[in-house]
C-alpha cells in the first residue's frame, strides 16, 4: 500500500487483498476460512468481481465498492436540482457511475410560476450533469458513466431522442427512452400519441379557463396515477421512427421497456423503477446500488477444442454459494457516498451474479453462438446460477437474517419468483431470503480484459485480433493490440494460424441472433441483461428499423444497438489493415 493505493506485485496479491477485505464481514474466527474460499473463488479468474471491488477492497481509500447507482428523483425546482447534482458529484468522486430519470423536470417553454422564467427543459439540465462528470473524471483515469432516461410521453421526448446527434454532445451519458406498453400498442395500431406532464406542475397557462385535456399517468416522483395535461399529440409511429433513425445514425437512444421492468421486479410491492445503472443491466429504485460479479465461463470448459469438450456444471454449482456470500459481504465492506445509498443497499441487499466469456466458452466447446445449442447452454448456465444462488441466499437468511424489505407473501407473488422451483419458494416462505435480487448480466468489459481478454458478458467475440483504446491516468488514451482468448488458446493447442471452427464475430451475426441470445437468458435474470446489438456499417435502415420491435416482442427488458458510422466511435476497433468497426460505447 502506498498513499492508500494498492501496490500489488501480481494478480495473486490482488486476489489475496480482496479476499481478506471481503472476509472481514465475517466473525473473527471464521475470517481465515472464508478468505481462503474467496481467494479460491477468484483464483484463475473463475469469478470476476466488479471493477470497483477489485480496485478498492482492502485499501485505505474512502471509495465505494459498488460500480453504479441510480440516484433520487429530481424535484422540479432550482435548489433541489442542484442538490441532486451535488449528490451525483459526490457519488462519482467516490468511483460510482450514476443513473437519473429526468422525466420529473418540466418541458422546455413552461412558465415557472414563482419567478416568471421559462423552463429550459430536461436536456438543458443534462448538459450541466455532463459538464460535472467531465470535471470529476479529469482528476483520474476512470471514465465517467451516467445514464439518462426520459419517458416516451414526456413533452421533450423528441429533443431527448436527438440530443446526441450533435457532435460531442452529452458524451458522458448513455440515453434510453422509457417505453411503456401503452406506447407500443399505439405504435402497433398507428394511433396518435399524447405527450403529457403532471398538470399540478405546469401551473397556469396563457389561455387559462379554456378546456384542457388531461389523462391519468403514473409519473416518477408521484404516488399512483396523477392528472397529466396533454401538451401535444403526434403519430406514435412517427415518434417510434425518430427513435429508430437516431439509434441507426448515432447509437442512441437505447430503450427500456419500463412496464415489463416493473412487472418483473421482485420488490414491485414497495418500489417503482424509472432508471437503470449506466449500462442498463440493473434497474434500481432511488439510491439503489449495483453490487456485481461475473463467472468466467471459459474457466469451466474441460478438454477444450476436443470431442470430449464439456461444461463443468458441478464445479459451477459448488462456487455459486461462495459468490453469493462474497457479494453479500461487499455491502458491509463498502463505503457509500450518501447515507441514503447505504440504507437502500442494506434494506434490499441486492446482488447481481452473471456471466462473462460466453462466446469464448462456446468456441472452446465447438458450439456456434447463433445455434439452439448455444442458446440452450447459456440458458442452462444462468438457470444454474439463479437457482443455486437463491438456495444459498435462503441459507444465508437462516444464518444472518433476511433482507429488511421482505414481505414473504407479496414477494412470493412476483412473476420471477413464481418461476423458481417449488422447493426454493417453499424455503423462502419458511426461512426468508438474504438478498432481494441475485442475478444480472453486466458488460464486464474491463474485468474480462483483465482475465486474459475473454469475450465480455454475453456478447459474441468482437474479432480474433483488434485494437482497444484505454484511458491513462493522465487522461490520454493509448491503443493496445488485443487477441481474443479463445483464438489465443486455439493457437496454443493446435499450433495452426486458422481460426477455431466455431469462431464467429459480432458483425457476422444478424440482429435477431443477438436478440435471441439475450432472450434465452432473460427469464433466469432478476435484474436485466446488458447487451449491445452490433450491426455492420453497411446495414440498410430498412433492415435495421425493426430491431427494437423484435426486442420487445422477444420479452427483453431493454436493448441498445451499435452501428459503425461517421457519427460515433467505439473503444474497440478491427485490426489495422481491415475496416475499422467500432464495437460499443456502453461498456
Q: Which residues are catalytic?
A: 277, 279, 281
Helices and strands (H, E) in the chain, number of each type: 22, 20
Tell me the HSE value of 42 on the side-chain side, using a 13 A CA sphere.
27
CB 312 within 8 A of CB 381: no
Q: How many Å apart are CA 23 and CA 37, to the nearest integer?
A: 9
Report which of 34, 140, 45, 48 is spatially closest to residue 95, judged by C-alpha positions.
140
Q: How many Å apart are CA 297 and CA 310, to the nearest integer?
A: 11
Q: How many Å apart are CA 445 and CA 537, to the nearest integer?
A: 22
Q: How many Å apart are CA 443 and CA 456, to the nearest integer?
A: 6
The set of cell numbers assigned to 62 is: 474512502
At CB < 8 A and 24+ separation, what contacts does 154-158 make?
Answer: 154/103, 154/107, 154/122, 154/195, 154/196, 154/197, 155/107, 155/195, 155/196, 155/197, 155/231, 155/232, 156/107, 156/108, 156/121, 156/122, 156/123, 157/195, 157/239, 158/239, 158/242
Q: How many Å apart are CA 283 and CA 498, to the nearest integer?
A: 42
Question: Phi and psi at residue 504, in whole multiples of 5°?
Answer: -150, 140
Q: In what order do the strands lie in the sheet with 292-296?
A: 47-49, 292-296, 352-356
Rounded to the nearest 10 degrees, how much is the dihedral formed by the CA atoms of 444, 278, 480, 564?
110
Q: How many Å apart are CA 180 and CA 149, to the nearest integer?
A: 13
- What is 11-49 written as a DSSP string? HHHHHHHHHHHHHTTS-TTTHHHHHHHHHHHHGGGSEEE
Tell me the HSE value of 157 on the side-chain side, using a 13 A CA sphere.
28
Apex CA 44: angle with CA 298 and CA 386, to 5°?
Answer: 55
Beta strands in 143-224 (DSSP E): 146-151, 173-179, 192-198, 214-218
Q: How many Å apart are CA 459 and CA 509, to the nearest integer?
A: 11
Q: How many Å apart are CA 463 and CA 581, to the nearest integer?
A: 10
- What is 480-491 written as a DSSP string? EEEE-HHHHHHH
Q: What is the largest CA-CA distance in the chain?
A: 81
Question: Phi and psi at residue 450, in whole multiples of 5°?
Answer: -60, -40
Partners of residue 311 on adjacent β-strands? 301
Amino acid at each position: 500500500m502506498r498513499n492508500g493505493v494498492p501496490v500489488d506485485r501480481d494478480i495473486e496479491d490482488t486476489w489475496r487483498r480482496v479476499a481478506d477485505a471481503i472476509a472481514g464481514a465475517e466473525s473473527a474466527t471464521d475470517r481465515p476460512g472464508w478468505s481462503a474460499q474467496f481467494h479460491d473463488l477468484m483464483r484463475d479468474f473463475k469469478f470476476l468481481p466488479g471493477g470497483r471491488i477489485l480496485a478498492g477492497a482492502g485499501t485505505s481509500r474512502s471509495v465505494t465498492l459498488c460500480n453504479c447507482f441510480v440516484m433520487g428523483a429530481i424535484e422540479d425546482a432550482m435548489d433541489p436540482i442542484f442538490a441532486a447534482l451535488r449528490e451525483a458529484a459526490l457519488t462519482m468522486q467516490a468511483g460510482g457511475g450514476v443513473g437519473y430519470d429526468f422525466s420529473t423536470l418540466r418541458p422546455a417553454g413552461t412558465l415557472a410560476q414563482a419567478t416568471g422564467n421559462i423552463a429550459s427543459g430536461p436536456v438543458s439540465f443534462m448538459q450541466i450533469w455532463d459538464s460535472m462528470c467531465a470535471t470529476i473524471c479529469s482528476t483520474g483515469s476512470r471514465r465517467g458513466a451516467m445514464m439518462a432516461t426520459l419517458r416516451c410521453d414526456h413533452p421533450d421526448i423528441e429533443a431527448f431522442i436527438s440530443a446526441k446527434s450533435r457532435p460531442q454532445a452529452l458524451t458522458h451519458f448513455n440515453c434510453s427512452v422509457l417505453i411503456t406498453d401503452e406506447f407500443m400498442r399505439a405504435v402497433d395500431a398507428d394511433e396518435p400519441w399524447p405527450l403529457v406532464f403532471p398538470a399540478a406542475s405546469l401551473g397556469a397557462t396563457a389561455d387559462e379557463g379554456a378546456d384542457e385535456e388531461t389523462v391519468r399517468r403514473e409519473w416518477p416522483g408521484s404516488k399512483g396515477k396523477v392528472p397529466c395535461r396533454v401538451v401535444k399529440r403526434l403519430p406514435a409511429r412517427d415518434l417510434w421512427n425518430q427513435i429508430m433513425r437516431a439509434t441507426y445514425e448515432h447509437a442512441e437512444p437505447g430503450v427500456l421497456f419500463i412496464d415489463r421492468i416493473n412487472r418483473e421486479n421482485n420488490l414491485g410491492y414497495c418500489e417503482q423503477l424509472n432508471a437503470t445503472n449506466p449500462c442498463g443491466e440493473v434497474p434500481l429504485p432511488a439510491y439503489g446500488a449495483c453490487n456485481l460479479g461475473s463467472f468466467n465461463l471459459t474457466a469451466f470448459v474441460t478438454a477444450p477444442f476436443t470431442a470430449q469438450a464439456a461444461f463443468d456444471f458441478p464445479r459451477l454449482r459448488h462456487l455459486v454459494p461462495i459468490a453469493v456470500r462474497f457479494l453479500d459481504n461487499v455491502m458491509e465492506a463498502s463505503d457509500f457516498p450518501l447515507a441514503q445509498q447505504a440504507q437502500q443497499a442494506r434494506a434490499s441487499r441486492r446482488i447481481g451474479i452473471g456471466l462473462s466469456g460466453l462466446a469464448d466458452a462456446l468456441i472452446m466447446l465447438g458450439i456456434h453462438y447463433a445455434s439452439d445449442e448455444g442458446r440452450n447452454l447459456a440458458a442452462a448456465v444462468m438457470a444454474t446460477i439463479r437457482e443455486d444462488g437463491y438456495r444459498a441466499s435462503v441459507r444465508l437468511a437462516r444464518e444472518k437474517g433476511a433482507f429488511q424489505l421482505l414481505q414473504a407473501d407479496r414477494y412470493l407473488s412476483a412473476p420471477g419468483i413464481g418461476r423458481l422451483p417449488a422447493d426454493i419458494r417453499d424455503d423462502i416462505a419458511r426461512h426468508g431470503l438474504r438478498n432481494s435480487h441475485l442475478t444480472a448480466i453486466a458488460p464486464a468489459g474491463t474485468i474480462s480484459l483483465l482475465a486474459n481478454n475473454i469475450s465480455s458478458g454475453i456478447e459474441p467475440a468482437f474479432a480474433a485480433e483488434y485494437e482497444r483504446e484505454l484511458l491513462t491516468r493522465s487522461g490520454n488514451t493509448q491503443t493496445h493490440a488485443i487477441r481474443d482468448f479463445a483464438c489465443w488458446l486455439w493457437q496454443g493447442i493446435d499450433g495452426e494460424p486458422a481460426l477455431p471452427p466455431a469462431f464467429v464475430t459480432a458483425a457476422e451475426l444478424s440482429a435477431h441472433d443477438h436478440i435471441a441470445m439475450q432472450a434465452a437468458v432473460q427469464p433466469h435474470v432478476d435484474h436485466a441483461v446488458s447487451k449491445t446489438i452490433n450491426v455492420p456499417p453497411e446495414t440498410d435502415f430498412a433492415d435495421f428499423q425493426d430491431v427494437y420491435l423484435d426486442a420487445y416482442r422477444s420479452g427483453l427488458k431493454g436493448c441498445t444497438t451499435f452501428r459503425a458510422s461517421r457519427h460515433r466511435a467505439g473503444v474497440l476497433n478491427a485490426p489495422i489493415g481491415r475496416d475499422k468497426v467500432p464495437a460499443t460505447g456502453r461498456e
